[in-house]
Structure 1
Amino acid sequence: MTIGITMGIRSAATFFLLMLATSAQAQLYKSTGPDGKVTYSDTPPVSGNVVQKKIGGGAGDDTDGLPYELALAVKNHPVTLYSSDKCIPCDDGRKMLKERGIPFSEKTVKTNEDIAALRKIASDSQLPVLTVGRDKQSGFSSATWGSALSTAGYPESSRLPANYSNAAPVAAAQGARPAAKTTAPAATANSGDVPPATGNAPPGFRF
């Protein structure tokens, strides 16, 4: 009788260990249903769930893999950097964001279409422009940017995973229709209230 009980216990233990090993190798899925309820499972979501993705995906997969505090800040107050070529303040701002471990998207301002897109975001004419949620900062200031990030809930020091990297910069007007050609583009670019370019800055902006 004792032998039978012992073998039964061993069989149960072996089965339990096998189940643990199988679970460790299984994919973990996150799904969001129509009612907004988030569910985690080791099997793909059933039909009807609106979102399906693997947890712990690669760098840049939304907020997957980010610490909770950082993921929450990214979700509620996304950060975008508007920059331009040969702009030292832009380089300084980008460096600060990376050193503090801030996930951000970068949009470059080079063409008249980019300038028009940026004008819809910030009325100030100084680059770089940083948006933290609805907060907008024109020109680089380590103290001001740092305060805006802290207010938005971003950690004071980097908590990014070692393999994280931000997406490549894109044009500020990416996706906009190409501007119609004119017979006098130079005059058009400098007409109205847009002053000519100063140094390396786009027309109407300064560093």
Structure 2
Amino acid sequence: MNPKGKNPMSRHLQSSSLLAAAVGLALLQAGPAWALYKVVAPDGRVTYTDRPPSDRPAATLKTNGTVAATTGLPFELQKVANQYPVTFYSSTKCPPCDAARQMLQSRGIPYTEKTVETSEDILTLQKREGVQQLPVLKVGSKQLVGFAQADWVGYLDAAGYPAKSALPASYKQPPATPLVPPDIKAAVPEPLRLQADT
């Protein structure tokens, strides 16, 4: 027995238990690292699985349980959009951004548009994508900076997107959203400004 009356093994077990609890909590908060699909059978039965069915469309669920934006797309387009999601970074008063958006829409590419308007947006774009120029297109993990239609078409073709729109008539492009949401911008303090001596 320890002269102070404390067992050194109990201290080791206690610290191990705390470490295991911290790791377990971190894993619970992280959520699943794989895709989760909601499959509705012809008879209406709903199944959740980590593998997409090969014979019919399935809704991809986000880790928070909401359905991903590719729901309602034709099966082949849904598969491509899930594997190679398209993100388009744009700004107002940007003619190349307007031309790029028009090309994506006329080709029927489902995409997420993030607008870069504020200094917070610009800093976030620089950190996230390492660029200071717009427009930016992400097709899966591939990045294109600036609008060169032939390059964009080539990347979309390589990803497997159809050359002509396969979007259903009922499809509505989600509205563009700021790269940095307004509630986060409100939490960021204004930069310090120096006053001139008078």
Same fold (TM over 0.5): yes
Shift of 1:56: 9.8
Match of 1:22 in 2: none
The alpha carbon displacement at 1:109 in A equals 0.4
SS in 2 for 1:91: helix
SS of the residue aligned with 2:100?
helix
Which one-letter code corresponds to 2:41 in the other structure? Y
Letter in 2 for 1:40: A
Which 5+ residue runs of structure 2 have no aligned equivalent? 1-35, 51-56, 60-66
Structure 1 vs Structure 2 CA RMSD: 3.0
What residue number does 1:88 align with? 95
From the superposition, tell whether residues 169 and 37 of structure 1 become closer, same or farther in structure 2 (CA, over 3 Å).
Answer: closer
Letter in 1 for 2:171: Y
One-letter code aligned to 2:103: M
TM-score, length of structure 1 as denominator length: 0.61
1:172 lines up with 2:187 in the alignment: no
Larger Rg: 1
Identity %: 40
Q: Which amino acid aligns with 1:167?
A: P
Alignment equivalent of 1:118, drawn from 120, 125, 146 = 125
Q: Distance in 1 between matches of 2:37 and 2:68?
A: 20
Q: Structure 1: which 5+ residue stretches go unaligned?
A: 1-34, 186-207
State the distance in 1 between where 2:79 and 2:44 align: 26
Count matched residues. Answer: 144
Verify the 8 A CA contact 1:69 1:153 in the aligned structure 2: no
SS of 1:92 mapped into structure 2? helix
Partner of residue 41, structure 2: 40
Task: Confirm or deny that 1:183 pairs with 2:184.
Answer: no
1:31: which partner in 2?
none
Q: Describe the superposition over 1:147-168 as per-residue Cα deviations: whole angstroms up to 9, x where unpaired.
A: 1111111011111001111111
Q: 1:116, CA displacement in angstroms?
A: 1.7
Could you say if the C-alpha distance between residues 102 and 36 of structure 1 is closer, same or farther in structure 2, counting changes exceeding 3 Å?
closer
